Structure 1
């Protein structure tokens, strides 16, 4: 099953006095045979995720023969509004390359192998397919090609302290994720032993839809990894490709780790981290010791594809200069007024 959200024009105007709402109409439902079909009962993607994968299959059977709208007549949106975004770093090859670009030293620290580390990203800046990113002022704008898990509800589970086996049942589906990155901002922030923060805080693209986990079962290898091919190009020129199965941990282990002494809920996103072998420009900069290929600029088009998922395409919009914030002031460290 494919699950999506979309926008299409409002009802046609009947003249100057027409009081019909001309705003775009939002639809949520299934993608079936090159058409989009609304969920029965006017359900939303958020509600379907909460009910879980079994409920979605029942709903799909009801929707299969319903009329829909040709896929080419709508504009796809981000497939859902995430409850949270955790972004992991699970590809060893990516870590080797990008550490040199960001920190000036190519290495994989011993701590990387101990646990699947992640950071929290901003769910309020999610972009959909074709939606341009408006970056901060940066000289090192980058993309990051990832596969992301979408969490769904499981009857009787609160999503807390999940075993690897029970975590697998919480994987509702997958989508493509582009973790846009301003590498110069990221490098400055991480010298303070925090972040990435503003180096990532301006845009995360998701889409084009959610493909349910059962659809990808044929691609699970003998070790439990998804052997899907992922590729990325800029302005039509191939930049990188990898197999998702080169992750250091399979997805159920990422979900279990996220739930450790914590909780995962329907609508959570867990990114795989950037694939290796050119899944981002930063990795290539680190290996080359120079900014080759060139950083992204306004007007560039980034096209990502992952086997059995689809394509996620976006362009770079104009950089947005922010209002200034002054640097820290030296303070006397007084202990009393």
Structure 2
């Protein structure tokens, strides 16, 4: 299997392919975005030529530090696992339910492509967070396809745009998020601080045989906290296959090479779901020094350590209560009589 990765060694950042645990670098000007723009077929041809010409002294994975495998153009994160929704809703309001609207169409939010982290990095707890959580996900990465503009796609077309897959940990500050959601706009600082992508991108052709008749990928997903298993699920338990997520994202909009679309959290793939099911903060929220490892069959694993909290409280000024008087508004005047 050949995967696409970014790494640093001796201060140099390179993009290339990982083959049999060796890192085969492309010329220095290459970035992952160049591969997405070229498309999957062209990338596979380039990978074959690179492997054939691999130098004997190519570094091993142990000799480099892996970086996040791409800098996403955008990041959409869906919520597609019914079991996850059941548990998390109980955390929010004490009632475990999946509302009918969830079944009608896939729901997503945009998260921050500028705070993507790599496997091996320390993830600091954001300001004001005392309920730090992980989220076990798989993400699809899009690539160019001749003749497709990325708008109003059908599912078959969208499937062709899926360049590859990577693991996603959508880190969450649950208490910060809960406060924000009461405003009824969506998560912001509770999700803004970090997402881990990695360890590399497995090209879509490598997993094509794992699709079932409806297009779902049957891959086991397991989360570990300090080497203790949190829960295991199958990616096939998504409510919609990835192709339908991409197609939905493209409706009245545009998806482009380098976009990332997350599956949402797998069943029993985060702490908040278990808090809802248990009616208590058990297992405990993540603390400084905890090691979080996500393992996805056919892709690999990522691991991060939880760091320190920046501030106990969110450093934000409260809103000014400015009143609602309209005394400064212009008043209508009668038209001038000629």
The count of aligned residue pairs is 322
Distance change in 2, residues 1:323/1:198 (3 Å): closer
What are the residue-to-residue correspondences of 1:1-337 with 2, within 5 Å?
A: 1-9=2-10, 24-40=11-27, 42-65=29-52, 66-67=54-55, 68-136=58-126, 137-276=128-267, 278-321=268-311, 324-337=315-328
Structure 1: runs of 5+ lacking an equivalent: 10-23
Structure 1 residue 41 displacement after superposition? 7.3
Aligned residues of 2:77 and 2:261 also touching (Cα < 8 A): yes
The separation in 2 between residues aligned to 1:310 and 1:324, in whole angstroms, is 37
Name the structure 1 match of 2:332.
none
Aligned residues of 1:87 and 1:121 also touching (Cα < 8 A): yes
| Structure 2 counterpart SS, 1:216 | helix
Aligned residues of 2:291 and 2:303 also touching (Cα < 8 A): yes
Name the structure 2 match of 1:18.
none
Structure 1 residues 89-143: Cα deviation after superposition (integer angstroms, max 9, x where no partner): 0000000001111333211111000001000000000000111111213121000
Structure 1 residue 331 displacement after superposition? 2.2
Aligned residues of 2:115 and 2:193 also touching (Cα < 8 A): yes
Structure 1 residues 274-305: Cα deviation after superposition (integer angstroms, max 9, x where no partner): 000x2000000000000000000000000100
Distance change in 2, residues 1:56/1:101 (3 Å): same
The separation in 2 between residues aligned to 1:334 and 1:239, in whole angstroms, is 54
Structure 1 residue 326 displacement after superposition? 1.8
Distance change in 2, residues 1:256/1:294 (3 Å): same
Structure 2: runs of 5+ lacking an equivalent: 329-338
Name the structure 2 match of 1:15.
none
Aligned residues of 1:146 and 1:271 also touching (Cα < 8 A): yes
Structure 1 residues 17-68: Cα deviation after superposition (integer angstroms, max 9, x where no partner): xxxxxxx110100001110001257421110111110110110111013222
The separation in 2 between residues aligned to 1:334 and 1:220, in whole angstroms, is 61
The separation in 2 between residues aligned to 1:85 and 1:40, in whole angstroms, is 27
| Structure 2 counterpart SS, 1:315 | strand
| Structure 1 counterpart SS, 2:145 | coil
TM-score (norm 1): 0.93
Structure 1 residue 323 displacement after superposition? 6.8
The separation in 2 between residues aligned to 1:320 and 1:46, in whole angstroms, is 33
4+ residue stretches of structure 1 with deviation over 3 A? none
Aligned residues of 1:40 and 1:63 also touching (Cα < 8 A): no
| Structure 2 counterpart SS, 1:69 | coil
Aligned residues of 1:97 and 1:286 also touching (Cα < 8 A): yes
